[in-house]
Amino acid sequence: MDRNFILALVMTGLIFLGWDFFVLGPQKEALAEQRAAAEQARIEQGLTDDPGATGDTDFLSSAAPTPLTREDAIASSAARLPIETPELTGSINLTGLTFDDITLKNYDDTVHDESAVVLLTPQQTDHAQYMRSGLAINGQSDRQAQWTIAEGETLTPATPVTLTRTVGSVEHAVRISVDDKFMFAVDHKVTNNGSDAAVMQPYGASYQRNIPDDLQNMMILFEGPLGVVGDRLYDRKYKQMLKKGSIEQSGTGGWVGITDKYWLSAVIPPQDRPFRAKLDVQQGASPLFRSTYELDPISVAPGETMTITSHLFAGAKVVEVLRDYEAPIEDGGLGIQRFDMAVDWGNFFFLTRPIFNTLHFFHGLVGNYGIAILLLTLVIKAILFPLANMSFKSMAGMKKAQPEMQKIRERYGDDRMKQQQEMMALYKKHNINVAAGCLPMLAQMPIFYALYKTLFTTIEMRHEPFLYIKDLSQRDPTTIFNLFGILPFDPTTVPYIGSFLGIGVLPLIMGACMWVQMKLNPPPADKTQAQIFAFMPLIFLFMFAPFAAGLVLYWAWNTFLGVVQQYTIMKRNGADVDLIGNIKDSLGLNKPKAANENSK
């Protein structure tokens, strides 16, 4: 921590604002124009608002009846197909072939709660979330179709299941399979036994009834409908969707779905066929958010059979798993276009992704993300060493020039112009670059943000332990205000200020390191400025207390390494650095010299 930190914060803020105004602003305007043009074209073509919805309004009604509990809704279904995999358990509603009952077996709601995460819930519940992969045949929706199990009993990775139904003279069979992770494959096989051509309309849809109760509602995090069309990601948060309306795009390759912080329910069309994607909401007292796609109608001649395959993803956004599905088919993947964009990498994805990749690499070596963060910090320190070396060399020059600077202030105290001129000459003499102190901090800010984003949004960090910490993605669980758990009192529950009272071991270590680092810096000439900077470690102590423990661990370790680095470089450049003496002075531990010694 040095006196240029505030300037660094201001400059970083200006960079963020400039990026948003000059780069993201024009992109958003162009995107809005594209959406408006797509909406107008769709109106002119008279296309339906919801794929496969012809003659069916049950799933689209915004005036939902009195909701049922999840258990009652599942029990009320006439027939269900059980699902059992290493990762998932649940069932498929055979009315409408609806994926509406999925629980993640290997993820708990909290680090202290062993109840499994429920991902999909039936449409009769208050916060229903469900998916479908279907076919409208000859204009008839399959939303209320009754399916019959023709082969299999329980859907597992080893036992696919075949379902059948009949639409007039058309036989429609569906073979559903699932892998050992989170992906379902749905093979639709249509046989036309009639004398006229049959038209099938493939579609996929992911739904969310109402805004989720556990919505994070944070600027740094995206939750809501999203999708990739071609090579571009499109998304809109729940509340933005209610205000701004739909997003429509057409292209080849991609997917659509609904996501929150860690979980994703997505429907994936064939990657080699063009499709139309739509993210929208059915407004009303109980809004229904929808991420849907539809393919062009396919004609099946009399006596012919047509097969088309789509996929559904229901599970955790594990980056390695998403990238495996993204891999080309010849490499064992599904070739899903940019599937890892389901993870909210943010606008600084060019930093967030490399930081995650580095952390994941180190985790593979050492098996712990806390240690991986320590190793990542060493890498970042090595990369930024040239800037730090320049900064600390300049600081050493500033330290050596302190006596001369004091003389200039005393000599030209009333002549600010002359004082400034002499100071500039002194800086030149000692090779002091005033701006050099800002450079390491400015470089750290985007990295700090990217690491914060990584810790906050990637499921790999969720419930990851380190020493006494059980979850690096959450704040330090200890706090000094209850003597680190000795007193039966949780200060973080205090209204308004509770989030700042959770000052645990890691924030205290971080604050102490920042305070020690300030003792290496030349004291500010202005007394008011000196008093302000004296409080900076305390301010940052309270400011960092609510942050993820992994982030505080990074900053504490980074600051400690900075102290060692700064001390070494300044000593090598001839600066008189009495760190221990400065600390003792600040703590009042140095004994004042005797009066007779001062008189000698």
Tell me how far the alpha carbon of residue 92 is from its chain's centroid: 29
Q: How confident is the model at residue 218, as a pLDDT?
A: 74
Fold for the domain defined by 47-344: Beta-galactosidase; Chain A, domain 5 (2.70.98)
Query: What are the CB-based long-range contacts (under 8 Å, 24+) for 566-574?
Result: 566/388, 566/392, 566/395, 566/517, 566/520, 567/520, 569/388, 569/389, 569/392, 569/393, 569/396, 570/392, 570/395, 570/396, 570/399, 570/520, 573/392, 573/393, 573/396, 573/397, 574/396, 574/400
For the chain, how long is the longest CA-to-CA vector? 119
CB atoms within 10 A of CB 409: 13
Nearest CA-CA partner of 1 in 453, 510, 350, 454: 510
- Highest mean pLDDT of the ranges 40-44, 271-275, 444-448, 576-580: 271-275
Do the Cβ atoms of 203 and 295 come closer than 8 Å? Answer: yes
Tell me how far the alpha carbon of residue 577 is from its chain's centroid: 43
Nearest CA-CA partner of 508 in 529, 487, 479: 479
Q: How confident is the model at residue 500, as a pLDDT?
A: 74
pLDDT band at 587 (very low <50, low <70, confident <90, very high): low
- What percent of the chain has a predicted confidence (pLDDT) above 70? 80
pLDDT band at 321 (very low <50, low <70, confident <90, very high): very high
- The tokens for 276 are 């139309």
Mean pLDDT of 235-258: 94
Cα-based angle 394, 400, 405 (whole degrees, multiple of 5)? 95
Paired with 136 in beta bridges are 201
pLDDT band at 21 (very low <50, low <70, confident <90, very high): very low
**Could you report the per-residue pLDDT of 164-185, keeping only the tens digit for each?**
999 999 999 999 999 999 999 9
**Could you report the per-residue pLDDT of 431-481, keeping only the tens digit for each?**
776 666 667 777 788 888 898 899 889 999 999 999 999 999 888 888 888
**What ranges in 221-270 are assigned the alpha helix state H?**
238-244
pLDDT band at 575 (very low <50, low <70, confident <90, very high): low
pLDDT band at 525 (very low <50, low <70, confident <90, very high): low
The whole-angstrom separation of Cα 228 and Cα 291 is: 11
Q: Is the pLDDT of residue 235 over 70?
A: yes
Mean pLDDT of 324-343: 95
CB atoms within 10 A of CB 29: 10
Q: Is the pLDDT of residue 34 over 50?
A: no
Q: How confident is the model at residue 189, as a pLDDT?
A: 97
Q: Is the pLDDT of residue 89 over 50?
A: yes
Do the Cβ atoms of 425 and 326 come closer than 8 Å? Answer: no
Query: What are the CB-based long-range contacts (under 8 Å, 24+) for 538-543?
Result: 538/511, 540/1, 540/510, 540/511, 540/514, 541/503, 541/507, 541/508, 541/510, 541/511, 541/514, 542/500, 542/503, 543/500
pLDDT band at 546 (very low <50, low <70, confident <90, very high): confident
Q: How confident is the model at residue 77, as a pLDDT?
A: 81
Q: How confident is the model at residue 593, as a pLDDT?
A: 53
- Highest mean pLDDT of the ranges 125-139, 396-410, 416-430: 125-139
Mean pLDDT of the chain: 83
- The tokens for 280 are 């929208």
**Could you report the per-residue pLDDT of 478-503, keeping only the tens digit for each?**
888 878 777 777 787 888 777 777 78
Distances from the Cα of 508 to the Cα of 83, 467, 514, 543, angstroms: 48, 16, 10, 12
What are the residues whose beta carbons fall under 8 Å from the beta carbon of 137, sequence distance 6 or more?
Answer: 167, 168, 170, 172, 190, 198, 199, 200, 201
Q: How confident is the model at residue 592, as a pLDDT?
A: 58
pLDDT band at 578 (very low <50, low <70, confident <90, very high): low
Which residue spans of the chain are classified as CATH 2.70.98.90?
47-344
CB atoms within 10 A of CB 46: 6
**Could you report the per-residue pLDDT of 335-393, keeping only the tens digit for each?**
999 999 999 998 888 999 999 999 999 999 999 999 999 999 999 999 888 877 777 77
Nearest CA-CA partner of 358 in 376, 342, 345: 376
Q: Is the pLDDT of residue 204 over 80?
A: yes
**Packing angle, helices 536-544 and 505-518, rounded to 10:** 160
Q: Give the helix/strand (H/E) hosting 555.
A: helix 549-572
Query: CA dihedral in degrees (373, 379, 385, 388; nearest 10)?
Result: -10
Q: Give the helix/strand (H/E) hosting 166.
A: strand 161-167
Distances from the Cα of 335 to the Cα of 231, 456, 469, angstroms: 12, 28, 38
Q: How confident is the model at residue 232, as a pLDDT?
A: 94
Calculate Rg over the CA atoms of the chain: 31
**In this structure, which amino acid lies at residue 131?**
M
The whole-angstrom separation of Cα 258 and Cα 120 is: 11
Q: How confident is the model at residue 62, as a pLDDT?
A: 44
Q: How confident is the model at residue 113, as a pLDDT?
A: 67
- Highest mean pLDDT of the ranges 201-205, 283-287, 565-569: 201-205
Mean pLDDT of 30-48: 41
Q: How confident is the model at residue 44, as a pLDDT?
A: 37
Q: Is the pLDDT of residue 132 over 90?
A: yes
